[in-house]
Amino acid sequence: MATSSTSLEDVPSLDIMTELLRRFKCSSKPDKRLILIGPPGSGKGTQSPIIKDEYCLCHLATGDMLRAAVAAKTPLGIKAKETMEKGELVSDDLVVGIIDEAMKKPSCQKGFILDGFPRTVAQAEKLDEMLEKQRTKIDKVLDFAIDDSILEERITGRWIHASSGRTYHTNFALVTGEPLMQRKDDTAEVLKSRLQAFHRQTEPVIDYYKKKGVVAKLHAENPPKEVTVEISRKKSAIAGNDHDEIIVDAAMIKAPQMVTSATAFPTLDGFGKSPVEMASNNTFLVNAPSLDIMTEFKCSSKPHKRIIFIGPPGSGKGTQSLIIKEKYGLCHLATGDILRAVVAAKTPLGIKIKENMEKPLIQRKDDTAEVLKLRLEVFHRQTEPVIEYYKKKGVVAKIPAENPPNEVTAEVLKVLLS
């Protein structure tokens, strides 16, 4: 089964199926590495989720990446934390290194959107150097061009849904039932300072990439839906394939319906939706290796089983339980493992168990004739009646456990399939 630190076994089957279908649809998308450049309030935050989900890209925001690297205590994250704790700015080399790390996640397999970086030509050059070492490059830079005079109204009327990052405006969208907040820097005074920095430092980045012939200019002063349509019309900016037809449906860009063998499942919930509609909110699942997801997915078609293994020590329960667990996608509940887990988690029961376990006990010496004799006596006296208990319920299957393991496995499978 999955070997990730967070187990795929605990992810709902519907989420796994949805993620598999999303990856299947994403497999036909072109690999793209995009940069979104524009002043504050130009609409990058509105358009980036649409582009990200429709083209199966990952969204690399430098602030989020820095926090994630620090939290994960990666070597670069440790360096970044030391720098920030000194009150210093994180170096361009360090930020580019963290971008390099983030690009290797499965969610970035089809490419990425960079938002908020590069802000200077020096940063752009360092980014290009790193990409060149990986034998790749920036495919397109989307220039969100807009006049400064329009931005003040946009910025001062902007409200944010904190948990999702969605942005709303008093002139364009009214939302009820959701707590919204306004950023402290969304004021006319702060905007003026930020625009000065943008024109001085970041506009030259657009000229830098214009020389490379990869800039696509957008009319960012238009309403969001029209900007989305413009992006879709500039299909060379994203799709990179003159034969790809893109259909614009309201504010959502949808790729044409694919006709594949998967249409054998026409009633499957999720199929026929665009990747933006199918995208998972589970960060762990999105970044899980495809092989692990496919392995876990195989278990979704298995019948539900609840099985008890009973037998004396050495009867082969340990050997067979692992085989049955993997074959039928079951969880293996071993009391010893469960006890250790609740003790480690310091649950109320775990604390009580730990207190009992810490009392002085006589340590047994396993696998000796004397100990085995005692354990068999306990088994016959205490556990064999459990078999009789379940026999009355008609659910006991007797397995000739003296046979070789492979013959026992065949017998177990025969019982389970009957």
Residues designated catalytic: 44, 119, 158, 183, 194
Nearest CA-CA partner of 207 in 34, 37, 62, 32: 37
Do 16 and 8 form a contact (C-beta atoms < 8 A)? yes
The rounded distance, in Å, linking the Cα atoms of 351 and 342 is: 8
49-63 burial code (b ≥16 CB/10 A, e <16): bbbbbbbbbbbbbbe
Residue 337 tokens, joined: 């493992």
Kindly state the tokens that stand for 52. 């990200």
> Measured between alpha carbons, how far is 118 from 100 in angstroms, rounded to an integer?
14
Burial 220-237 (b: 16+ CB within 10 A, else e): bbeebeebbbbbbeebeb
Q: Closest Cα to residue 300, out of 109, 3, 19?
A: 19
| Cβ–Cβ < 8 Å for 131, 103 | no
Strand partners, 115: 36, 61
Q: Is 195 exposed, middle or buried (0-12, 13-18, 19+ CB in 10 A)?
A: middle
Question: Is residue 369 within a helix (H) or strand (E), and if so which, with residue range?
Answer: helix 369-378
In 10 A of CB 28, how many CB atoms?
A: 11
Q: Which residues contact 357 (CB under 8 A, 6 or more apart)?
A: 339, 343
**DSSP for residue 314:** T
